[in-house]
Structure 1
């Protein structure tokens, strides 16, 4: 058996295709069809390429699929802010899943906003025909379910001093969420500030569409954070096996935000890693090994 932590020599270049979600084109990349299908969804302000170091370590054993979410990279850019609502992001995910693995369940992996939108599919797996029986497992990284965040906020507001302190700590680390709702200023800052090319004390690799991706990505926050949530039939819980990857040095999503996740996920595995928010770039070997082990443990191909 190949070591998932060791990159394959001269790996084949993932094949690019286009998947339609309504009238919006999504740019999709797939490695050869080997083993279970793993769909990896990127966050803000990234593109599918942020997953490349992990994909290179997985593609000898798994059919890896990445795509540029709406508004990012080579995918279509909606004009209206409300077109970035979670319900549309979930429709995009369903379209990709139906195209790349029409007959078999997939293993979802999400980071940052990719994790937030994948959570939406996971908690609706029982009630939404598009996802029923289609998700074999889910690995979530630094992107909590919006319903779970609301529950954490209520607990912090009405709980004891320790819970209030945890809530305040997370609130302070989420300053950018509120700043992104200001008119015009975030667009100006994102187009001119060096913060886009530096994070957590080190330079990151970004593609040529970074600035546009970041500005378009503001709509993810504006269309969803304070929007009225559509009720999830049966509540925001799931029986899908969930692996929670917790980067202990994440400056944006603190570990305490997901400490009650066991209330919502009946089959939960928690993995703490000594890394920052972009663990997929800083620790691809460790992350790829964890993802491979979790997929292997929940391979339900028919």
Structure 2
């Protein structure tokens, strides 16, 4: 597949490495990767989308070839939303676009999907395994009051969030992983062999921890009311080891147009089920072209 590379300068002088794929005259679709991935995680999916969409991907700050901020607060959700705005303003000037995101890409994209300034530009949003942290906080408070088993189930799944707050241990762990070792972990999780390798895994894992440190505690302690400005589709991975499908139950309170599809897959379905995930993204986008 052919792509064109771009460098995007952010509002705080970081540089994001981006790629555009396909025919620029077609409907625009932005894909935002999660943690500990970079934009290459989307390539198996892009090959199923490139016939119908002009695809934009980018390495979020701290991942892939993008620059690495030194301060934790540089990874806060409002800045990540400004990053997305910088990308679309440069690569899709004055254009509307669809957006789909996975894992942390989805968490940070919720910040933009719930901002009024994107109301006339975002046509649809497909979220995969990444809840809005504000919505999740409201959900967990409600579960703690009325459904304590569900609360503790998600808390148990989120053990790594606590671990990632440890300043020395967490980054050091990622140096134990090389691409092949991390690939074995993914193959085991997804129950599928020979998934694409992340050759930047140690750095992506180490630097991306700042996403957790900058955002989880503030959002869980002081959740904000965040309403989606475009139609939302949740692709729910029923065997997800990290995000409880029950968290999706909160979205209809915050999205006036909402659909969900359930997939019998684990957290990295973007790698293990690319054709299926691409089909869901494309079908939802096609419903919301204007």
Indicate whether the TM-score tops 0.5.
yes
| SS of corresponding position for 1:256 | helix
Work out whether residues 89 and 117 of structure 1, in 8 Å CA contact, stay in contact via their aligned partners in 2: yes
Within 2, Cα distance between the matches of 1:134 and 1:107?
A: 8
Aligned length: 280
Work out whether residues 37 and 204 of structure 2, in 8 Å CA contact, stay in contact via their aligned partners in 1: yes
Within 1, Cα distance between the matches of 2:150 and 2:222?
A: 27
Q: Which runs of 4+ in 1 moved over 6 A?
A: none
- Residue number among 152, 168, 172 corresponding to 2:152 in the alignment: 168
Q: Which residue of 2 aligns with 1:82?
A: 73
1:29 maps to 2:23: no
Work out whether residues 6 and 17 of structure 2, in 8 Å CA contact, stay in contact via their aligned partners in 1: yes
1:222 maps to 2:208: no
Within 2, Cα distance between the matches of 1:274 and 1:112?
A: 17
Output one character per residue of 1:76-133: Cα deviation in whole Å (capped at 9) or x when no partner: 1101111111111111000011112112211011100000111010111x2xx3x231
Q: Which residue of 2 aligns with 1:107?
A: 98
In angstroms, what is the RMSD of aligned CA positions? 1.6
| SS of corresponding position for 2:51 | coil
1:137 maps to 2:128: no
Q: Which residue of 2 aligns with 1:6?
A: none
- Residue number among 178, 196, 202 corresponding to 2:182 in the alignment: 196
Aligned-pair CA distance for 1:260: 2.4
Work out whether residues 196 and 271 of structure 2, in 8 Å CA contact, stay in contact via their aligned partners in 1: no
Q: Which residue of 2 aligns with 1:53?
A: 44
Within 1, Cα distance between the matches of 2:289 and 2:7?
A: 27
Work out whether residues 138 and 223 of structure 2, in 8 Å CA contact, stay in contact via their aligned partners in 1: no
Aligned-pair CA distance for 1:239: 4.3
Output one character per residue of 1:232-258: Cα deviation in whole Å (capped at 9) or x when no partner: 5xx311241000000111100011111
TM-score, normalization: structure 2? 0.92
Aligned-pair CA distance for 1:230: 7.7
Within 2, Cα distance between the matches of 1:63 and 1:138?
A: 16
Aligned-pair CA distance for 1:55: 0.6
Greater helix share, 1 or 2? Answer: 2
Work out whether residues 123 and 288 of structure 2, in 8 Å CA contact, stay in contact via their aligned partners in 1: yes
| SS of corresponding position for 1:187 | helix
TM-score, normalization: structure 1? 0.88
Within 2, Cα distance between the matches of 1:80 and 1:164?
A: 36
Aligned-pair CA distance for 1:137: 0.6
- Residue number among 264, 268, 272 corresponding to 1:274 in the alignment: 264
- Residue number among 245, 249, 252 corresponding to 2:235 in the alignment: 245
Q: Which residue of 1 aligns with 2:6?
A: 17
Within 2, Cα distance between the matches of 1:34 and 1:48?
A: 22
